[in-house]
Chains A and B, each alone.
Chain A
Amino acid sequence: MKRAPWAAWVLVGPAVTVIALFFALPVLAGLALSFTDFDLYALADLRNLRFAGLDNYVHVLGLPLFWKALGNTLYFVVVGVPLSIALSLATAVLLQSPLARFKPLFRTAMFAPVVTTLVAVAVIWRYLLHVRYGLVNEALGALGLGPFDWLGDPAWAMPSIILFAVWKGFGANMIIFVAALQAIPDDLYEAARLDGATRWQQFAYVTLPMLRPTLLLVSVLTMAGYFQLFAEPYVMTQGGPLQSTVSVLYLMYEEGFRWWNLGTASAVAFLLFVLMIAVTQGLMRLGRRGEEAAAG
């Protein structure tokens, strides 16, 4: 027993070293960078580097574009996350239904977008959403609607991105829900049916409560992912039109790697980090309170 701590350190040592080197160190360096005005001039000569204190944070918080990007990101999260979860839950329930035919086919088809390359499908979606030649507008035109300038109109660009992101991502959550649904014992439904519960009541009083831990997990994961919106606007709209699809991460990328203001970019990254921690904590607390309520 005496040698146990030593042996433990040897065993976890490699992993801890890797984490320290490739995770902790870069994060700390990023934090340090966010207190300086590191930019192109500092890259040329470190004498051009100034300690900026909290200036970067003050500057970013005073930047109208930051608030716009934050608004855009929250729009994406608030609309996109519930939509994505609702869609994946609905498809999972449908796939579990004893009435469903060709289950493996549908399951594969709906999971397919998850494994496709984002850039490639984004290009295809750009074709679909094209204002003059796109299939979407053609279909809506047949119903007498539109035409909508999906990616060119500041009001429609973010909804288009949300639509694309939800389509691209809902399959992953669907698979988690399918697994969780299969774990719900059948006798619960049987008991509910004997009590005369309708299908809707079975869903509301058996399925949903049994899925609570899964729902919490899926919400946290999806939200963390959606806060980091970047690739979709980068490929489809480059932040436009009129900056209506600039997300916080996109702003960070532009500041850091396009204009080389690495100090400002790091400040943006840490502000997003703080925001995500806060929101995730809130969600976890909500989940725990729900559990206590359910238990009590």
Chain B
Amino acid sequence: MNAAGTRRAVLRGAAGACTVALAACTRRGDRALRFWAMGREGEVVGELLADFAREQPGIAVRVEQLPWTAAHEKLLTAFAGNATPDVAQLGNTWIAELAALGALEPLQPWLEAERTIDAADYFDGIWRTNQVDAAQSTTSRSSGDTPPSGGGPARSGSSGGILYGLPWYVDTRLLFYRRDLFERAGVRTMPDTWAGLVSALDALQRAGTPHPLLLPVNEFEPLLAFALQGDEPLLRDGGRFGNFRGASFRRALGFYMARFASGHAPSISAGEIANLWQEFGRGTFAAYISGPWNIGELDRRLPASLRDSWATAPLPGPNGPGASTAGGSSLVVFKQSRRRADAVRLLAYLSRPDVQLRFHALTGDLPPRRSAWSRAPLAGDLRARAFATQLERAKPSPAVPEWERIAQEMQLVASRAVHDRWSIEQATDVLDARVDGFLAKRRWMLERAARSPA
């Protein structure tokens, strides 16, 4: 979509939101709560807000849509120009970055007053992606109202940092596989260990699928999932240095590289598969690692004859069921908002299990609360159930602003190691050196903060 088209879409979205929350654009003028939402979520969230408007006639909400591709830049520019909204949807890997900017309002004190939010009901790994170490905040610009209780103690299950976001929907990666092809190769139950997966892939190769597992070399999520399965953290000393030379990552990288060496995975990038779903339907590959949106895509795109021949399974780990990534979007409140109490009320409304199930029906996004998963339709959906199982084991990536770059570099080094047949030591040495470079400024800032606690 070109820039003008995007702008039109945003205007349309804003206009649509105005008709939903009538009060917003007519009587209250610009005093409506500004809510930035991205992509598909931004298109449909207006439908959920009609009920909110009935419940809270005093709080008008204006949804402003952002395309995902421009969202990150828009948020940073808005911060630089003191034009941040009241509430926003935020990819949970961006939270550390915006928290470091001092743009986000800590939510814990506000949530003490909202009895409907129970941290223990959220998948633990997802909840923790919304927490950032206290040492990272660099500024404190604040205005308007204050939290009702002057910051109570943190709840159980939510230790380890300041809470800056409330999970809205979740994303994790697991195996999509062709059950018929696995069965033809004699694999009846999906393995839950790496060794089991390797022998299943061997069997598939013998049964006539030369490259049974698709691991696109330009996507970091599969390798990250394997890396998170180990016990050691990926960064050490509070996010000051890379820990890719640690045993956990070396093991994960070894497993990853061996998949290419053994031919289990073809060494290609995602762009070279012209149509992923079509090739999956053809049986060019029998399994790939991906996220929840593919449930809907495969339902739509595969022919009816293949409807029942694919399934989802949690990721196998080094010694039993493995962890995976903890992605998705959260809802955040900006520090500069003058209406933070109203903003938190909106967050609480959107976090109700029944509202989350309506949201799931509209978008296919998976809810972050276990109580939503125990109800229909999710409780009965077998393909979604695998995600619920996987989400119980989801692990957050290190919460440092530099993480996105580190993850990209990790994948870059891994794909070079696959292509040039580097040794694991060579790859991890290079990676640690580069990551330590990315974190240099962070180290300096942390040291300075430690020297002068003011």
Asked whether B138 lies within 8 Å of A240 as measured between CB atoms, the reply is: no
Does residue A287 face the partner (Cβ distance < 8 Å to B)? no
Query: Closest approach, in angstroms, between the C-beta of B276 and any C-beta of chain A?
Result: 13
- Tell me whether A40 and B97 are in contact in the complex, defined as CB-CB below 8 angstroms, given that A48-B445, A130-B274, A131-B272 are known contacts: yes
Asked whether B272 lies within 8 Å of A152 as measured between CB atoms, the reply is: yes
Does residue A139 face the partner (Cβ distance < 8 Å to B)? no
In-complex Cβ contact of A260 among B76, B138, B139, B416 (8 A): B76
Interfacial chain A residues near B97, Cβ < 8 Å? 40
Does residue B8 face the partner (Cβ distance < 8 Å to A)? no
Please classify how large the interface on chain A is, using the bins under 10, 10 to 19, 20 to 34, 35 or more. Answer: 20 to 34
Interface string of B249-279 (1 = CB under 8 A from A): 0000000000000000000110110100000
Interfacial chain B residues near A238, Cβ < 8 Å? 218
Query: In the complex, which residues 30-48 of chain A have their Cβ closer than 8 Å to any Cβ of chain B?
Result: 37, 39-41, 43-45, 48
In-complex Cβ contact of A242 among B79, B103, B271, B416 (8 A): B416
Asked whether A152 lies within 8 Å of B441 as measured between CB atoms, the reply is: no
Asked whether A45 lies within 8 Å of B441 as measured between CB atoms, the reply is: no
Query: In the complex, which residues 62-89 of chain B have their Cβ closer than 8 Å to any Cβ of chain A?
Result: 73, 76, 79-80
- Tell me whether A44 and B100 are in contact in the complex, defined as CB-CB below 8 angstroms, given that A37-B441, A240-B269, A242-B419 are known contacts: yes
Does residue A138 face the partner (Cβ distance < 8 Å to B)? no
Does residue A243 face the partner (Cβ distance < 8 Å to B)? yes
Does residue B102 face the partner (Cβ distance < 8 Å to A)? yes
Distance in angstroms between the alpha carbons of A96 and B366 in the assembled complex: 65
Distance in angstroms between the alpha carbons of A133 and B282 in the assembled complex: 15
Interfacial chain B residues near A39, Cβ < 8 Å? 441
- Tell me whether A45 and B139 are in contact in the complex, defined as CB-CB below 8 angstroms, given that A151-B271, A152-B268 are known contacts: yes
Does residue B401 face the partner (Cβ distance < 8 Å to A)? yes
Asked whether B100 lies within 8 Å of A41 as measured between CB atoms, the reply is: yes
In-complex Cβ contact of B272 among A41, A149, A154, A258 (8 A): A149
Interfacial chain A residues near B451, Cβ < 8 Å? none
Asked whether B268 lies within 8 Å of A41 as measured between CB atoms, the reply is: no
Does residue A257 face the partner (Cβ distance < 8 Å to B)? yes
Query: Closest approach, in angstroms, between the C-beta of B145 and any C-beta of chain A?
Result: 23
Does residue A103 face the partner (Cβ distance < 8 Å to B)? no
Distance in angstroms between the alpha carbons of A45 and B138 in the assembled complex: 7
Does residue B415 face the partner (Cβ distance < 8 Å to A)? yes
Interface of chain B, helix or strand or loop or mixed?
helix
Query: In the complex, which residues 389-406 of chain B have their Cβ closer than 8 Å to any Cβ of chain A?
Result: 401, 405
Asked whether B100 lies within 8 Å of A154 as measured between CB atoms, the reply is: no
Asked whether B274 lies within 8 Å of A44 as measured between CB atoms, the reply is: no
Distance in angstroms between the alpha carbons of A243 and B139 in the assembled complex: 37
Distance in angstroms between the alpha carbons of A243 and B405 in the assembled complex: 15
Asked whether A41 lies within 8 Å of B138 as measured between CB atoms, the reply is: yes
Distance in angstroms between the alpha carbons of A168 and B1 in the assembled complex: 22
Does residue B101 face the partner (Cβ distance < 8 Å to A)? yes
Does residue A106 face the partner (Cβ distance < 8 Å to B)? no
Please classify how large the interface on chain B is, using the bins under 10, 10 to 19, 20 to 34, 35 or more. Answer: 20 to 34
- Tell me whether A154 and B80 are in contact in the complex, defined as CB-CB below 8 angstroms, given that A130-B274, A259-B405 are known contacts: no
Interface string of A233-259 (1 = CB under 8 A from B): 000001011110000000000000111
Does residue B412 face the partner (Cβ distance < 8 Å to A)? yes
Q: Which of A37, A40, A44, A154 has most chain B Cβ within 10 Å?
A: A44
Interface string of B10-45 (1 = CB under 8 A from A): 000000000000000000000000000000000000
Does residue A132 face the partner (Cβ distance < 8 Å to B)? yes
Interfacial chain A residues near B73, Cβ < 8 Å? 257
In-complex Cβ contact of A44 among B138, B271, B416, B442 (8 A): B138
Asked whether B274 lies within 8 Å of A154 as measured between CB atoms, the reply is: no
Q: Which of B139, B271, B412 has most chain A Cβ within 10 Å?
A: B271
Q: Which of A37, A131, A241 has most chain B Cβ within 10 Å?
A: A241
Distance in angstroms between the alpha carbons of A260 and B139 in the assembled complex: 18
Interfacial chain A residues near B101, Cβ < 8 Å? 40, 43-44
Asked whether B269 lies within 8 Å of A152 as measured between CB atoms, the reply is: yes
Interfacial chain A residues near B102, Cβ < 8 Å? 44-45
Query: In the complex, which residues 176-222 of chain A have their Cβ closer than 8 Å to any Cβ of chain B?
Result: none
Q: Which of B73, B76, B103, B269 has most chain A Cβ within 10 Å?
A: B269
Distance in angstroms between the alpha carbons of A102 and B430 in the assembled complex: 59
Asked whether B415 lies within 8 Å of A132 as measured between CB atoms, the reply is: no
- Tell me whether A44 and B268 are in contact in the complex, defined as CB-CB below 8 angstroms, given that A37-B441, A242-B416, A260-B76 are known contacts: no
In-complex Cβ contact of B138 among A48, A126, A132 (8 A): A48
- Tell me whether A43 and B271 are in contact in the complex, defined as CB-CB below 8 angstroms, given that A48-B445, A243-B412, A259-B405 are known contacts: no
In-complex Cβ contact of A43 among B76, B274, B419, B442 (8 A): B76
- Tell me whether A241 and B269 are in contact in the complex, defined as CB-CB below 8 angstroms, given that A43-B79, A44-B101, A259-B405 are known contacts: yes
Distance in angstroms between the alpha carbons of A152 and B268 in the assembled complex: 7
Distance in angstroms between the alpha carbons of A45 and B137 in the assembled complex: 10
Interface string of B399-433 (1 = CB under 8 A from A): 00100010000001001100100000000000000
In-complex Cβ contact of B445 among A41, A132, A260 (8 A): A41
Interface string of A22-65 (1 = CB under 8 A from B): 00000000000000010111011100101000000000000000
Query: Closest approach, in angstroms, between the C-beta of A79 and any C-beta of chain B?
Result: 23
Query: Closest approach, in angstroms, between the C-beta of B271 and any C-beta of chain A?
Result: 7
Asked whether A154 lies within 8 Å of B419 as measured between CB atoms, the reply is: yes
Query: Closest approach, in angstroms, between the C-beta of A263 and any C-beta of chain B?
Result: 10
Query: Closest approach, in angstroms, between the C-beta of B264 and any C-beta of chain A?
Result: 19
Interfacial chain B residues near A133, Cβ < 8 Å? 274
Interfacial chain A residues near B274, Cβ < 8 Å? 130, 132-133
Interfacial chain B residues near A149, Cβ < 8 Å? 268, 272
Query: Closest approach, in angstroms, between the C-beta of A164 and any C-beta of chain B?
Result: 15
Asked whether A242 lies within 8 Å of B139 as measured between CB atoms, the reply is: no
Interfacial chain B residues near A41, Cβ < 8 Å? 100, 138, 401, 441-442, 445
Interface string of B325-345 (1 = CB under 8 A from A): 000000000000000000000
What 9 pairs across the A-B complex have the smallest Cβ distances? A44-B101, A45-B139, A44-B138, A152-B272, A45-B138, A259-B405, A44-B139, A44-B102, A133-B274
A-B contact pairs, 19 of them (CB 8 A): A37-B441, A39-B441, A40-B97, A41-B100, A41-B138, A43-B79, A43-B80, A44-B139, A48-B138, A130-B274, A132-B274, A133-B274, A152-B269, A240-B269, A241-B217, A241-B269, A257-B73, A259-B405, A260-B76
Which chain B residues have a beta carbon within 8 Å of chain A's beta carbons? 73, 76, 79-80, 97, 100-103, 138-139, 217-218, 268-269, 271-272, 274, 401, 405, 412, 415-416, 419, 441-442, 444-445
